[in-house]
Structure formats: C-alpha cells, structure tokens
Structure 1
Amino acid sequence: MTTTAYSTVWDLDVFFKGGSSSPAFAEHLQSTEENIHNFSFQVHKWEPENSLADQSSLLKLIESFQAATKKLREAGAFVSCLQAQNTNDKKAGEHRARVTQLSASFQNVLTAFDEKLTSIDSSVWEELMKEDGLKELAFVLTERREIAAEKLSKEEESLINALGVDGYHSWSQLYDLVVGKIKIPFSEDGEVKDLSVGQAANKFSSPDREVRKNVFEKWEQSWREQTDYLSKAINHLAGFRLSVYKQRGWENVLKEPLAINRMSEETLNTMWDVITKNKQLLVEFLNRKAKLLGVEKLNWFDLDAPITKADAKISYQEGAEFILENFSHFSGEMTAFAKMAFEDKWIEAEDRPGKSPGGFHTYFPESSQSRIFMTYSGTPSNISTLAHELGHGFHTYAMRDLHSLNRNYAMNVAETASTFAEMIVSDASVKNAKTEQEKLALLEDKIQRTVAFFMNIHARFLFETRFYEERKNGTVNTVRLNELMEEAQKEAYCNALGEYHPTFWASKLHFYITGVPFYNFPYTFGYLFSLGIYARALEEGKGYEEKYIALLKDTASMTVEDLAKKHLNEDLSKPDFWEKAVKLCIDDIEEFLALTEE
C-alpha cells in the first residue's frame, strides 16, 4: 500500500486557530452562551396546549435544543483536546471551568424542557409521536419524558445542577489536580527520576520484574500519601449522588447508570453470572503466566508483564497501514473512514512529555469531524488502542446522516464499535505472527484484555456497589476503602494473585467521573456484545458490513435488549448470547495453554 507519511500530530487549528488563546474559540463560547439563552427563552415561553397543535412548537424547540447541544459539545471536545495535548495548559483549564458552567446552565434549561414534556397528556403524546418530524425522535423524546417524571420538580432539579458546579463536579476537578501533582520516584541508570502517573503506569509492562516491583512499591506509597484527600473526594462524590437519589426516592444505586445505558438489571446480572461461571480457565491462564515468568503466583504488578522478549518497535506508519489493510478485509466504509482520519490529521499520537495518559475519541458535531488522542510508542498494544479509537470514530461516522438527537448512544454500546475494530486488528496480528514466540506474545496481549474486562472491571463493579451501600450509612474511611477494594479484587480474580492493589480506588480516575456514574460495567458489556457481533461477521465475511452499519445506526434509539433482538435475534436477559461471546475468549485461552504446555 503506497501512501504519504502520516502525521503523528493532530490539526486543531481547523476548528479554532490559536489553541487555548484562540479569539475564535472565545467567540464560540460567547455564541454557545447565547444559544443556551435562546433555547431557555423559548422553553419558558412555551405553554403546551395538550393537542396536536403542539407539534410545530415542539419541532422549533428541538431545533433550538439541537443548535445549543452542537455548540456546547464542540466547545467541550476542543477543551478536552487542549488539556490532553498539554497538561500544563492553564488557559485550557480556565476554559474547562467555563464549559462546565455552561453545561450546568444548559442542564437547567433541559430540566424545564423535560418538565413541560411531562405535562402533555399521555394520549396526546402518543398521537404527537406519530407525526412527521417527531416520529423518528419518538424513542429519545419519550425516554426524556419518562425519566423526568421520576425526578424532582424543575426548581429542585435546577438547584441540584447549580450546587453541583461548586460541589459535585468540583470534587472531580480536585481529583484531577491531586493526580497532576503526584510524582513517583524511579531509579534508572543511577539517577532518580520523578515520573508522572502515566509514565509510572507504563513501567508495569517492563520485562524486568525488579523494575515492576520497585515502581509498584513507590506507586502504592505515592497514592497512600494522597488517600486523605482522595477519600474525601470519593466520599463526597458518592454522598452527593446518594443525597440526590434519596430526594428522588431512588433506592437502587444502579437505577441511573442502568437508565443511562438503556439496559435492564436482569441483563446486567445475567452477563456477570455467565462471566463468573467461566472464570476458572482465566485462573489457569494466570497460573500459567506465573509459571512462565518463574514465580509462584502473579502479583498485581505482574499482570501486564510481557512473557516473551519484546520485538522490534513498529513505526506509526506501519501500524496505520496494518490497520487499513485489515479493516479492508471486512468493511470498505470503515477503511475509507480510517484513511481519512490518518490523512486529514485527526490523530494525536506523538510520544512526547506533557501529554495526558491514556487514549480517547471525541467528536466535533458542528464540524462533523472526530479527533483521536493516544501516545504511540510502537508496541502491538498501541496498534490495538489506535484501532479501538478508530472504531469509536467510525461509530459516529456511521450515524452522520441521523438527526443529532438520535446520535447520543450510551457508553455500553459506545464500546461495541471500538472493541469490534480492535478485534479485527488483534486477530489479524495473531494470524500474521512470523514466529511462535511472536504469536504467543500477541495472543497473551489479547487475553489480557479478557482478564481486564472479566476480572479488573468486575472488581471495580463489586467495590463500587458495596462502597455505595456502606456510604448510605455515613463516611467510609480510608482503611475500610482499602479493605473493600482488596476484598473485591480477591473475589474478582478468584484469589489467583499473590499481592493486590488496595489503593486502586484512589488511583483509578473512573471512580471520580461525574458525567457517568458506575463507569465500569459498560466496558464489559461492550466487549462481550461486540464479540457476539464479531462472531457473526466472521461467519458472513464482507457481506456483513451493511448489517453492522445498520446496527450501529440504531444504537442511540432503542434499548440494548431491543437492539440485540432486532439485529441479532438474541435475548440479552438469557445466558445463551453471553455464553457464545465468552466462548471466543475461552478459545484464545485454550490455544495459549496448548502452546505453553511444556
């Protein structure tokens, strides 16, 4: 494949020239505020007539809603990119505070809008949802109306939103501030260096066990030193949430995250039950890995250790071309999208200091463009991450012709397209391995994701549900938080490890995200759901592309149960679908165990 060299630095100037000091972005923020005010004025002026005459009023409001949403999301996406590319960009931090304030104002208007939706008589509502222009939005509008009916009054919900800016969301921002200042001392070549959290985390994949052990000891110590602050943050975040739930009369802490993810508790429980019943083979994998590394039992810091010698680094260009080549075996549209992302500088992959750890995809709705953030250092895992984020991008691209209200897919299905793209590349990597050693390393890297989704994420879910139950009775102290975390890890990993990570509740950002409560189980759902779809794609080959895109287009306009029924003819509340998806993971582990028999 002949191509020009792909840039490892993204282009943000196409949105607002000048970065965080951009005059155009300052104007955009002002324009966003005006759009929110305009929407607010229209909402407060609207008096539903409880008749089909409301159709034109409702359509005008939706248009205004759509315009404000696009402006706000464009601003949020730009700020996320600015902060990720340079963690020391103070001006970007100021912009983040402004966007948070605008979001709270917008939420207040939406609360008023939703309350007016609930005032429309049910029989009139049903007829309205059959009208042109509203029919395609029936699911999302009815969903808003039903959720609003279970909340408090407009005034009370607006007060919660207002207090959340300097309360709820501020605890999350405090977490970011504390983590940004954490330095982890690491001795290398006779010199002690202060590593950032992201840099230290990369050391856990070092082939040298002493390096991993020493970093982990310093890692635990550094987090322990901050636990007084972080236990305050996690307790107040949970306390705020629980107080709101209590006022609304919501006893089940999973009510909101399940509603956000458009799934039932029965489906969630069935998924975890099937995973739990199939964990024994994962334990065998962990035991085999321990044997290969020459230790009796893996410790937490051994989980990401490589089992074979690292191969030569893969250049960014080679990685990009490998992804394009393998996407092309499945989908012409996905390949075209990825090629556009590489050629038009949509990806920030440069390996340089000052960047945020991790990777993400974000969408600029006004510009109809995506941006992908990661740090590429030439490992097979980096290629998987890049494919994963391109999968997210393709998901939004597949929905580009839909009404913007029908594009708000939840986190659990968001992980479906990304994992699907990642599976295409991971599978191809294993099949294209030049030596048995390389195949083993790639297979192990693939299985590590299963360990993460079935064990690590499960530990987070167990910890968080139990922590919330205890938090209902008062503050949970640091010692107890450590105990809850270690108990959850031991259960989730079936006691297969020698040493655990009790301060994981402090080191994992996901526990401090305010936008989505219980930022854990959707990952596992998305992983297994995508495996079920991937199995279909393997059966049908390139001909499955059209069906796959049709499924992606429906991800924001129905429950996951209805989505699976319509496109896969599967019942997610029953074990069958989950067992078939888990079987793909088991096949990988069995192959690994057979290859390492001796």
Structure 2
Amino acid sequence: MTPIHFSKSDLVFGGIAHSAGDAASHDSRLGELPNWNLADLYPSQNGPEFLGDLEKAKVEAASFQDKWKGKLEAACTQTGATGLGQALHEFEGLEDLIGRIGSYAGLTYYGDMTDPAKGKFFADISAAITDIAANLLFFGLELNRVEDNLLESAMQQDAAAGHFRPWIEDLRKEKPFQLDDRIEQLFLEKSQTGAAAWNRLFNETIASLRFPVDGEEVPLEAALDKLQEPDPETRRTVAATIGKVFKDNIRIFTQITNTLAKDKEISDRWRGFKDIADSRHLSNRVEGEVVDALASAVKAAYPRLSHRYYKMKARWLGMDQLNYWDRNAPLPETPAQLVPWEEARQIVLSAYQDFAPEMAAITQDFFDKNWIDAPTRAGKAPGAFAHPTVPSAHPYVLVNYLGKPRDVMTLAHELGHGVHQVLAGKQGALMCSTPLTLAETASVFGEMLTFRALLAKTKDKAERKAMLAQKVEDMINTVVRQIAFYEFERKLHTARKDGELTSEQIGELWLSVQQESLGPAIRISEGYECWWAYIPHFIHSPFYVYAYAFGDCLVNSLYAVYQNAAEGFQQKYFELLKAGGTKHYAELLKPFGLDATDPSFWDKGLSMIEGLIDELEALDKAD
C-alpha cells in the first residue's frame, strides 16, 4: 500500500495537525464543506464490489504464488507469458488491487476512529491483507536471490521486465537486510499483533481524549486550536489543561512508545542495520550522511532562526520571554480573519493557475469530484493528509478546515501532494510511490506558491507583517522543530537500548531538545514535559520527521531557481513530479542545478527563512 503523506504545515504544536473539534463544523460562515466520496473506490463495505475484490485478491495471490514461486530464476531466461516481465506485470496488478482494498478500509476508518464497527472493519481487512500478502512475500525475496548478471540480462532481453528496472534496482538495495523467508513471513504475520496493534491503540486513545475547555469536554484538536487565541490567559489555562490530560494518560503513551521502540530495535538488529535511523534512510533512498548534514546545518542555524525570531516576537507581544503556550500566539497586527471554503478554494486554484494551468486543472478535480473531506467531526482523524490510494483510482485529501489562514496553507499543501500523486500515478502501482526525500516537494512548493500569491496582493503594512510572521513560524515549525523532533527520536531510541524508559526520562529528553531548538526567548515550564505523547509520527513512522525539513529546505532552493528561471521551469518541475519513484532525488534535481549531497546546499534553503526574518526586522525598525 502506498504511504499517506501527512501535512507538514500543520505541525504547529507538536507533530500532528490540529482542528477545532465538533462545534466548528457547524460554523455557517465557512459555507458548505465537502465530504469525500469513497464510492470511487467501493460503493459500500458489504457490497458485491468490495467483497468480490477481496475474494479475488485472495484467490489470485494464491494462484500467483503457485505459478511463480521457485521459478523466477528460470523466468529471467525467458520472455512472453513465462518471462520475468509477465510475472512483474501480474504482481503489479495484485498490488493495485490490494492497495485499493486497503485504501478503502483505511479511509473509512480515518473518517471516524472512535466508531467500533469501523475499527473492526479496518482491523479485519488489515488482517486479511496481511494473509494475502503472505502469499506474495516470496516474490521480492526470491528475486533478490537471482544473480546480478542474470537479472541484468533479463531486463535487457525482455522489454516488459526492463520497464520495471527502477523498481528492481530499488528492491536490490533491500537485499543486504532481508532475512530467511520463514523469518520474513513471521515478521509479516506478527505485525498484526505487534506494531500495527500498538499503532491502532495510539490512534484510538488520542481520538477518545477529551479536554475541559470553556465548560465543555472537547477533543484535542479543539484544545490545541485555543493556543492561537489572542487572549494570553486563555492560552495559559488551555495549555495547563492539555498538559494535565496528557499527564493523566501518560502511562499508556509511555508503554506504547517503549514497546514500539523495542520492536524497532529487534527488527533492526535482526536485519543488520547499524544506525537507529538507517532503515528510514533506506526506505527514503537517501544517504545517512546527507541527513546528518541537514541536521547539522539546521542545528547550527538555531540562533539565527528560531532564537532570533522568538526574541523579536516576545518584544512584539510586550514580554521579556514567551511562555511555551505563547509560541504560536497571533501578533497584535493579525486581523481576525475567517476564510470561507469557497474563498480558500479560489485562493489555491488561482495560485496554482498562475504557476501552471495543468496544476490547477488537476486540483480542480479534487474540489469538483469530492476527493476532499473537510469538516471537523467527532472521531475523525486529526490534522491533514493526502492518501494516493492506487493508480487505478485517485488520491483523497483529508483536512479539518476551520477557516484560519493556516488552514488555507494546509489545503494548498495537501493539494500539492494530490497533484504529485496524480502525476506519479502514471508510473503504475510499483513505481508511483515517491521516497520521502522528494515526497514533500510538491506540497511545500504548492504552499509557497499560495503564500507568495497572497503576499503579493497585500499592500497593508501591518497585514504584511502578520503574514510574514506566520510564514516564518510555519517554516520554523517545519524545519527547526522537525529536526528537534528527529534529535529527540535519536535520543529516545538510543536510550531505549539500555532498558525501558520511564515517563520522566522521556520527558527529560523531550525538554532538552525543545529548549535547545526554541532558545532562551521561550520559557519552558512545568506541564510541557508530556507534550511528546501525542505526536503520531513518532509512533507510525519513526524518523519520518526529517523529511519535512528536507522538503522545506529543498523547496526554498527550488523556488529561488523558479524566481530566476527563464521559460521551461514548469516543464522540468512536472517531469520531476511525474517520475514518482523511478529516479533518485539527485538525478531529478540535476536539471535545476541543485545538489543536495553538497553540505552547503542546506544553507541556501535556510537562508530564505533568514531572509524573511530580515524583512520582518526591517518592517519592525520602520515602525
């Protein structure tokens, strides 16, 4: 199943996006908000279409194993119906079918994670897919045992096999870390009662938490939203409430974190990974030293980015030092703006249209064909994501739309993912998925297009200052905080090797990286030590977070090329998106004159953030 790409622009308070809870979905000022139409995948979970495909997947996966297991080496010497190309074609078809089934079950569940019936449906289908996948597990393992020269000959002699060269070459990178077939099957089957089960427990625990705010019991999203209120006392009391609820439930989050960290350590040890993040680097197809260079560059930039900005913000808010709950408080100049859905739609479409009509045309489908789920509601997955589903269908976008300017940026971000997924889908089920090194490119670029379009139309000095400040905060949340999260994960997984960690120990690790990254202008006081608990990336995708910083810095450099480029940038940009997972990021960046393996590359991206802070400082001095 292809990966969900969670929003980066929503990582304001921790690691997940935020929405305003049940009541906000009834705000008539937003206009009519769309609900997605999952019938494009299946009309219903009990209908003949879904049940028929589920049975078809079971039968065809078993037949595929009977037909090809133990015969792939021989297939490399043949073409046509008995050749490797045919086997790959059939395997891809099964991947698309299984991915469609899994996507439908997942999206149904994310629509309401507190509904027991939907939870059972998701769990049952996940288990069925695992059983089906057990019949296909042999394929990659056996293919990796074929000698290099024989496999190369097959790709040269059989055009059908040669078509899948990028997928095969990616598969070969996994070869040093694959285990005996029976052990691999055990890992696969036990994932249902291992990592997957703990992930579900985390999801449903977060979705069920309630926070007393203004006399109501509200979900986490509604409580987090209050941290953007102008009133400092509201922010203080809500932050205390959030911290208390986290602390009251910290035992379960500590258990989940310890278990999954140990589970990962066992898997990494068996597979032979040396560093705790190596498995993520491998799946991202990025070299560890490149990530190290990124992390080092960002950490070196803390003083001139986050430290400097928050010192300015404290002065704007009339404080010597910001409290941790003031970090995302609105500036006094920030207009009390609510953006109706239709206006948000036009803002994003207009920005995309100005860049490339093809980009706007693809985005239009998301609005016109109900590929977006926008309202907040009880039990719905928090935040925002784009799910590519499978090439035979189309992507879906989930947001929790409240009408705030940040929500417009989130919409632009997720639709950037959506455009990327539509274009990459033409590569087919095996090669459409983009590694995280480039998966955030289109989303962050789309967000930047939207921001720049809005900024260009802003003539009021105070409004411009507020927009720039919000953008700088989003970029700090994306780059600085995500690298801090990455450092936190490194510390946590390293410490876990020496034994189970207490809640207090995890909290100490959390506070250490937060203070370092946020700087002396932020006062981190009692109550914040448990805020690591709700960040889903730590649970679902360990070490995922650096991809946001990677993507933001990369896009900053890419956008600079766009601003100075002659005609032809758009075409090269679309070629990058259409490539999906068929090319290494270094090859895809070459036409733009960019080299992410150069350690100085990251300083170029960081300099754009610094430039925006310079502009804010100049506006401040001009007052």
TM over 0.5: yes
Q: Is 2:206 the counterpart of 1:206? A: no
Q: CA 1:465–1:214 in 2, change beyond 3 Å: closer, same or farther?
A: same
SS in 2 for 1:581: helix
- Ranked by relative contact order (alpha carbons within 8 Å, sequence separation 6 or more), the top structure is 2
Q: How does 1:85-484 map to 2 (within 5 A)?
A: 85-131=111-157, 132-186=159-213, 188=214, 192-282=215-305, 283-307=307-331, 308-365=333-390, 367-484=392-509
Q: Which residue of 1 aligns with 2:597?
A: 573
Contact 1:115 1:149 (C-alpha < 8 Å) held by counterparts: no
Q: Distance in 2 between matches of 1:493 and 1:7?
A: 36
Contact 1:281 1:589 (C-alpha < 8 Å) held by counterparts: no
Q: Distance in 2 between matches of 1:542 and 1:380?
A: 31
Deviations 1:315-369 (A, max 9, x none): 1111111111111111111011111221112111124444322011112326432
Q: CA 1:140–1:366 in 2, change beyond 3 Å: closer, same or farther?
A: closer
Contact 2:36 2:372 (C-alpha < 8 Å) held by counterparts: yes
Q: Is 2:42 the counterpart of 1:16? A: yes
Q: Distance in 1 between matches of 2:238 and 2:63?
A: 53
Q: Which residue of 1 aligns with 2:27?
A: none
Unaligned runs of 5+ in 1: none
Q: CA 1:177–1:368 in 2, change beyond 3 Å: closer, same or farther?
A: closer
Q: Distance in 2 between matches of 1:250 and 1:8?
A: 45
Task: Kindly state the Cα deviation for residue 138 of structure 1 after the two structures are TM-superposed.
Answer: 1.4
Contact 1:108 1:157 (C-alpha < 8 Å) held by counterparts: no
Which residue identity is paired with 1:206? E
Segment of structure 1 superposing worse, 354-363 or 460-469 = 354-363
Deviations 1:489-523 (A, max 9, x none): 1222234420163213212111110xx33121111
Contact 2:77 2:83 (C-alpha < 8 Å) held by counterparts: no
Q: Distance in 2 between matches of 1:105 and 1:262?
A: 28
Contact 1:175 1:233 (C-alpha < 8 Å) held by counterparts: yes
Task: Kindly state the Cα deviation for residue 433 of structure 1 after the two structures are TM-superposed.
Answer: 1.7
Segment of structure 1 superposing worse, 216-225 or 394-403 = 394-403
Q: CA 1:375–1:249 in 2, change beyond 3 Å: closer, same or farther?
A: closer
Deviations 1:29-63 (A, max 9, x none): 33333343333333425252285327743222212
Task: Kindly state the Cα deviation for residue 427 of structure 1 after the two structures are TM-superposed.
Answer: 1.2
Contact 2:412 2:443 (C-alpha < 8 Å) held by counterparts: yes
Q: Distance in 2 between matches of 1:295 and 1:449?
A: 21
Q: CA 1:102–1:523 in 2, change beyond 3 Å: closer, same or farther?
A: farther
Deviations 1:140-173 (A, max 9, x none): 2122133134221111111111122112221111
Which residue identity is paired with 1:587? G
Please, which of 102, 106, 131 is the counterpart of residue 80 of structure 1? 106
Q: Distance in 2 between matches of 1:25 and 1:108?
A: 21
Q: Distance in 2 between matches of 1:591 and 1:221?
A: 39
SS in 2 for 1:8: coil
Contact 2:510 2:529 (C-alpha < 8 Å) held by counterparts: yes
Deviations 1:237-282 (A, max 9, x none): 1111111111222221111100111100111111122222322222
Q: Distance in 2 between matches of 1:199 and 1:351?
A: 10
Q: Distance in 1 between matches of 2:244 and 2:377?
A: 26
Deviations 1:436-477 (A, max 9, x none): 222122111111121112321122111111111111121111
RMSD: 2.2
Q: Distance in 1 between matches of 2:359 and 2:190?
A: 43
Q: Which residue of 1 aligns with 2:554?
A: 529
Contact 1:299 1:497 (C-alpha < 8 Å) held by counterparts: yes
Q: CA 1:293–1:37 in 2, change beyond 3 Å: closer, same or farther?
A: farther
Segment of structure 1 superposing worse, 426-435 or 468-477 = 426-435
Q: CA 1:196–1:259 in 2, change beyond 3 Å: closer, same or farther?
A: same
Segment of structure 1 superposing worse, 140-149 or 521-530 = 140-149
Q: CA 1:181–1:27 in 2, change beyond 3 Å: closer, same or farther?
A: same
Contact 2:507 2:532 (C-alpha < 8 Å) held by counterparts: yes
Contact 1:237 1:512 (C-alpha < 8 Å) held by counterparts: yes
Q: Distance in 2 between matches of 1:477 and 1:185?
A: 27
Task: Kindly state the Cα deviation for residue 106 of structure 1 after the two structures are TM-superposed.
Answer: 4.8
Q: CA 1:367–1:402 in 2, change beyond 3 Å: closer, same or farther?
A: closer
When the two structures are superposed, what TM-score results if normalisation uses the length of structure 2?
0.89
Q: CA 1:434–1:375 in 2, change beyond 3 Å: closer, same or farther?
A: farther
SS in 1 for 2:426: coil
Q: Is 2:536 the counterpart of 1:512? A: no
Q: CA 1:294–1:155 in 2, change beyond 3 Å: closer, same or farther?
A: same
Q: Distance in 2 between matches of 1:47 and 1:265?
A: 33
Q: CA 1:51–1:179 in 2, change beyond 3 Å: closer, same or farther?
A: closer
Q: Which residue of 2 aligns with 1:31?
A: 56
Segment of structure 1 superposing worse, 197-206 or 432-441 = 432-441
Segment of structure 1 superposing worse, 384-393 or 274-283 = 274-283
Which residue identity is paired with 2:366? A
Deviations 1:531-586 (A, max 9, x none): 2222222222663111001112234123323332x333333221332222222211
Unaligned runs of 5+ in 2: 1-30
Q: Distance in 1 between matches of 2:493 and 2:166?
A: 31
Q: CA 1:37–1:50 in 2, change beyond 3 Å: closer, same or farther?
A: closer
Q: Distance in 2 between matches of 1:106 and 1:519?
A: 27
Number of residue pairs matched by the alignment: 586
Segment of structure 1 superposing worse, 66-75 or 331-340 = 66-75
SS in 2 for 1:575: coil
Contact 1:9 1:348 (C-alpha < 8 Å) held by counterparts: yes
When the two structures are superposed, what TM-score results if normalisation uses the length of structure 1?
0.93
Task: Kindly state the Cα deviation for residue 23 of structure 1 after the two structures are TM-superposed.
Answer: 5.0
Q: Distance in 1 between matches of 2:51 and 2:118?
A: 12
SS in 2 for 1:356: coil
Q: Distance in 2 between matches of 1:242 and 1:311?
A: 48
Task: Kindly state the Cα deviation for residue 525 of structure 1 after the two structures are TM-superposed.
Answer: 0.7
Task: Kindly state the Cα deviation for residue 394 of structure 1 after the two structures are TM-superposed.
Answer: 0.6
Which residue identity is paired with 2:359? M
Q: Distance in 1 between matches of 2:552 and 2:494?
A: 27
SS in 1 for 2:397: strand
